[in-house]
Amino acid sequence: MIRKRKHSAVAGTTKSSVAVLLTEDIAPLGKSGEIVRVKPGFARNYLLPQGLATVATDHNRRMAEQHQQKLVDLRKKQIKELRQLADNVSKYSVTLEANANKEGQLYGSIVGTDISKALLAAGFPIQPEHLLLEGPLKELGMYTIKVQVHEDVKTDVKVWVVPTSG
C-alpha cells in the first residue's frame, strides 16, 4: 500500500502556489505590502525565514493596507520637502576653485563629490549620486548641473569653476 505524504504547507496554499504578503521590496516579485503568489517551497524556504514576506491572512492584509496608507502620506510629505529643497538649490550657485593653466584647462578635474561637498557645506543635503554629471569638469567656466533628489524632483544648480587665487 502506498501512502501519500502530507506536506506541511503554508496556510492558503494550493499545490502550485501560495499567497504571501511582501514585507520588503523584492525586484522580480513586487513592492512591500503587495500580495503575490509564489511557489510554496520558495515561500517556506526563503521568503518567510528571511522576513521578506509573511502569510497573507486577513489581519495581515488589513495591517498592510494601513501601513501602505501611512507610507503614501509619508511619501507625499517627503516629496513636498524635497521640492522645497530643489527650489532652494536652484537659487544657489556653487563656486569651486581649481588649479588651471593659462588656457583654462584644469590640472585635475571637478567631480560630483566636489560639488556635493560644497553644497553640503552650504547646508543643502545633496549627495554625489543626486548630481547628474555627463563627466568630470575639466575647464574653467560656468556649468549648469542637473540635480535629481527623487525620481519626481529635479532641478539645476549653477557651478562656477574659477582659478585658485594666489
Q: Is the pLDDT of residue 8 over 70?
A: no
**Which pLDDT belongs to residue 9?**
52
Ordered by where they begin, the domains of the chain are 18-83 (3.40.5.10), 86-163 (3.10.430.100)
pLDDT digits (tens, 9 = 90+) for 37-56: 999 999 999 999 998 998 88
At residue 11 the predicted structure's pLDDT band, cuts being 50, 70 and 90, is low
Query: Mean pLDDT score of the chain, rounded to an integer?
Result: 86
When pLDDT is averaged across residues 83-95 and rounded to a whole number, the result is 90
Residues 6+ apart with CB under 8 A from 17: 37, 38, 39, 40
Model pLDDT, residue 1: 59
Give the per-residue pLDDT at 121: 92
Grid coordinates belonging to 44: 517556506
Rounded to whole angstroms, how far apart are CA atoms 124 and 127? 9
Give the integer Cα–Cα distance in Å for 90 and 99. 26
